[in-house]
Amino acid sequence: MRQCDCKTIIAKVQREYMKALKQLFLLCLMSIAASAHGAENFAISALGEHLFVVTGPVGNTLVAADTDGLILVDGVPEHYAREYLGFVREETGVDTIKTLVLSHWHPEVTGLNAILGPQGIEIIAHENTRQWLGTTIRERGETILHTPLPDNQLPNRTFYWGTLDLPFRGDRMEIGYLPQSHTDGDAYARVIGADVLYTGAAVHADSWSVVDVATNGFIGGLMDALDSLGSMIDADTIIVPASGPLMDKADFDEQAAMYKALNTEMIALLRQSRGPDEVLEANPAKGLKPEWGDPADFLDQGFRSFYGHLRNGRHIGGGFP
């Protein structure tokens, strides 16, 4: 009886040992493959079946592996574009890119256009984003922020109000408009059945959400965007911000409450006839989120964005005569 037990134990140990060696071998192969395909700049994590978040040098993208190709939600700066495409193709095992969805016009998310646009691949964006990409954008006078993209790199499918739906493996991806928040062409993406929400630039988990006044970003609209996104979130929702780690409902609610408190303080300073320099000096964000760095751009751009909305009673507490 004892001899039999010993043999059983020895056999079990051998099986476990071989299993561990096999797992170690597979991990080594994965590490080598990742290194060969751009892992120095990108990392991928599964959010569910056929659904991934890719983290890179400037933020997050959502990748959905549909039956006939990949749906990419946001891209990367142009100098990372080929590396990124090689990485997602290798990691998902899907070679075809069928759709690119843009959350706004900024170059950190539109660098894939130069490769995918001339191939005729579907590029979806809000109509305002298409218009910004096709024009010269200036900031406060003659500082040029953006020059027009060629026509074959512009979004070729747009929407204006409401939402646009994409089928995805028996589920659906909802692309929705967030009016005049980070820019006036912001969009989110939500995979309904999987309960995954990609917020676009309205939400960051590692930095301040700065509005872009040059393309009609508005801090009041940012507050509306937080309300809209918050209405889509429950305890099970996986929230993918524009940058930083994944969030849950508690993370999102905490951030939204902080921004709304800051917005209230900035409105109070506006109604005291303070200027942007005085707001920076008062610094209502002092001591909040020091790990995010200097809040000066958030305060400066957010405060300046009030100027186009001085008669907006809902957003600035009654408006100005």
At 203-215, the pLDDT tens digits run 999 999 999 999 9
Q: Which helix (H) or strand (E) holds 16?
A: helix 2-36
Q: How far apart (Å, rounded) are the C-alpha atoms in residues 196 and 180? A: 23
Q: What is the residue-averaged pLDDT of the chain? A: 90
How is residue 185 annotated by DSSP? T
pLDDT surpasses 60 at 19: no
pTM value?
0.86
Do residues 189 and 103 touch, judged by C-beta distance below 8 A? yes
CA 163 to chain centre: 17
At 160-208, the pLDDT tens digits run 998 999 999 999 999 999 999 999 999 999 999 999 999 999 999 999 9
- Would you call 71 helix, strand, or coil by DSSP? strand
Provide the angle, in degrees to the nearest 10, between the axes of the packed helices 249-271 and 219-230: 150
**Which amino acid type is present at position 297?**
D
In the block, tokens 């820019």 appear at 183
Q: How far apart (Å, rounded) are the C-alpha atoms in residues 210 and 152? A: 30
Report which of 196, 210, 206 is spatially closest to residue 244, judged by C-alpha positions.
206
pLDDT surpasses 60 at 85: yes
CA distances from 171 to 62, 161, 286 (A): 15, 22, 43
Split at pLDDT 50, 70, 90, the class of 315 is confident
At 92-123, the pLDDT tens digits run 999 999 999 999 999 999 999 999 999 999 99
The CATH architecture of the domain made up of 33-249 is: 4-Layer Sandwich (3.60)
Split at pLDDT 50, 70, 90, the class of 34 is very low
Do residues 42 and 84 touch, judged by C-beta distance below 8 A? yes
- Residue boundaries of the structural domains of the chain: 33-249
